[in-house]
Amino acid sequence: MTMRTRRKDRHSWRKLESAVVSGLTFCSAIIVIAPLALVFFHVVKSGIGAVNLDFFTKLPKPVGTPGGGMANAIVGTLELLALASVIGIPVGVLGGVYLAEYGTARVNWVLRFIADVLNGVPSIIWGVVVYGLVVLRFKSFSAYAGGLALGLIMVPLILRTTEEVILLVPASYREAALALGIARWKTIAHIVVKTASRGIITGILLALARVGGETAPLLFTAFGNRFWNHDLREPIAALPLQIFTYAISPYDDWHRQAWAGALILVTGVFCVNVLVRIFTRVRAMPV
Amino acid sequence: MTKAQLLLRERSVRERMTPPSRFGDEAFKWLTLTMALAVVLLIVLIGWQLARGSSLAIQKFGFSFLITSTWDPVAEQFGALPFIYGTAVSSLIALLIAVPLSIATAVYLTELAPLWIRQPIISLVEMLAAIPSVILGLWGIFVMIPWLRDYPFPFLKRILGWTPIFTGPIYGPSMLAGGIIIAVMIVPIITSVSREILRSVPDLQREAAYALGATRWEVTRIAVLSYAGKGLFGAVILGLGRALGETMAVTMVIGNTPQIAASLFKPGYTLASVIANEFTEATTDMYLQALFEIGLVLFGVTILVNLIAQLLLKTIARGASPRAVQ
């Protein structure tokens, strides 16, 4: 009898322990996502007041003059992303195709390993490297340098997602095409890549959303510009750079503009992420 | 048909079946190979560029660059110790905060949570990872630091003020604030990698423990966590790699003062932030060289840490495949 009650006590104790641990881990999850909610709340609250038509159409005003906007920074970020795409997309996608379609297991392991290590290189390092490669050589900060820095960051990201989605294409598709006598490269380009195109585009969009918010690699490549950029060989404004400059300035008016810029940037990044998640399911962070 | 005719016909069929040229295939293969090899080229390029940019500084200061703490651009004396110290301490604080939270969250999401709640939380964690660093820094300056200064910091000082690490005046921008913001930035990656690791634990493990009458938590502790230990360690090291290189958000809240102080309320400086702040101000060649060398140190450390993390993760990924167990 005593034996049975003791066992019963012990059993309820164990169940209680399990429930307590579940509760604790649930609390951890809440703490982990709390900053997301807080950042989002404050960005909307402080940013919404300064977002108006001027913000999208006007240049920044000098200190002390209220108003003005970030039109040049918004366009600048889009230009930089376009330049980055020119490098990041072809290299990343074709490299991913090689890993998925041609490479031997050993070579792939090494390349994948290096790509993953490359993903861990701090973004500021890319800024320093491109400064040495481009800015020092041509003696000017430029949109090209900024675009190159962002493009190189995109390469390993796109390479890994492309490889992953291409591997999902069933082997029977390839076999069917080859059995019809279609050349291998045509099979890959027209059948395999086309089948995986949705996933590849998802990977590209996520990479763009990621580098679109990068500031560190642009500090001494694109450098920033208070005016319109008319020549890609000249410094160019970018939204994250402008937010950084305004955030660390001592002026209230600039702080308001920084929050508004943050609202636009966050909205852009989140829109891409949410849309991508609705249309496809792909891992956001290749590791 | 004569035999000769038959032979002729067979040959023509065979000729039609062999593809006219393999040039397209070869060219495409080499093109993709070149692009894939770009990742190798990029790693080499980074190392070469950083070494080239800092060769004079390396010659001039040698090993003392890493162990002296004078940072005087005017006198051209450069020692990186305060930045190395700042990077190490802020990353350590970040790990102390982020690791328990991330692993607990990953455990909750794979083992303990009701199924319907898992996907929403996973998506929210991924969204947290998508917040640009500069925006987290902006939030850090105007929301987090004033709050820390008013509530948690005085509380810590009252409770733990007798220890050397929570003494002195409270400014706001500080090593502790830097560590906290890095923690926010690395939580998503540690969580999602840990989640992958836990998910790769074979169900057989869990079923065996359940069959012995274990509760949910006991299953997790005995069958899952002990099995996944090495992989979780890899996830933590990967988080460390990210922490070391975090730049913008840290630069905005850490105070940017090159000093080595025991108190975490005092401002600090990290390798990444000194590059971010001073690179465009480097007026002399030696100053720029010193900053390149800081970059080289940061690159070397992050590469090493990432190598270790990937080795841990890749080997576990193979060892834990269900096939290996059966």
What are the chain B neighbours of A95 within 8 Å (beta carbons)?
Answer: 32, 35-39
Q: Which residue has the tokens 């997602």?
A: A161
Length of chain A: 287
What is the predicted pLDDT for the residue at A157?
A: 96
Q: B72 in helix, strand or coil?
A: strand
CB contact under 8 A, A35 and B125: no
Window 163-222 of B, Cβ < 8 Å to A: 184, 187-189, 191-193, 196, 215-218, 220
Mean of pLDDT values over B237-258: 96
Domain boundaries, chain A: 73-279
The structural domains of chain B, with segments of one domain joined by +, span 57-325
- CA-closest candidate to residue B269, choices B173, B187, B157: B173
Over residues B228-242, the pLDDT tens digits come to 999 999 999 999 999
Task: Answer whether B41 touches A (CB < 8 Å).
Answer: no
Instruction: Enumerate residues 6+ apart whose C-beta is below 8 A from B62.
Output: none
Residues in A 220-259 with any Cβ partner in B closer than 8 A = 220, 223, 240, 243-244, 247-248, 255, 258-259
Contact yes or no for B229/B194 (Cβ under 8 A)? no
Tokens encoding B290: 């010193």
DSSP code of residue B279: G
pLDDT by residue (tens digit) across A181-235? 898 999 999 999 999 999 999 999 999 999 999 999 999 999 999 899 889 999 9
The domain A73-279: what is its CATH number?
1.10.3720.10
pLDDT band at B138 (very low <50, low <70, confident <90, very high): very high
Look at B217 and A128 and tell me if their CB atoms are within 8 Å.
no
Query: Read out DSSP for B133-191?
Result: HHHHHHHIIIIIHHHHHHTHHHHHHHHHTTSGGG-S---SSSHHHHHHHHHHHHHHHHH
Which stretches of chain A drop beneath a pLDDT of 50? 1, 284-287
Distance in angstroms (rounded) separating the CA atoms of residues A94 and A195:
15
Overall pTM surpassing 0.80 (yes/no): yes
- Which tokens go with B119? 């996907």
Residues from chain B contacting residue A207 (CB–CB below 8 Å):
none
Contact B198, B113 (CB under 8 A): no
- Cβ atoms of A215 and A46 closer than 8 Å: no
Kindly tell me if the per-residue pLDDT of B106 is higher than 80.
yes
Tokens 């301490």 sit on residue: B89
**A7 in B contact zone (CB under 8 Å):** no
* Mean pLDDT of the B318-322 span: 45
Q: Return all residues near A34 (Cβ < 8 A) that are at least 6 apart.
A: none
Whether CATH 3.40.630.30 fits B57-325: no
Q: Which residue of B has its CA nearest to A224?
A: B280
What digits encode the pLDDT tens for the residues B14-30? 555 555 567 888 999 99
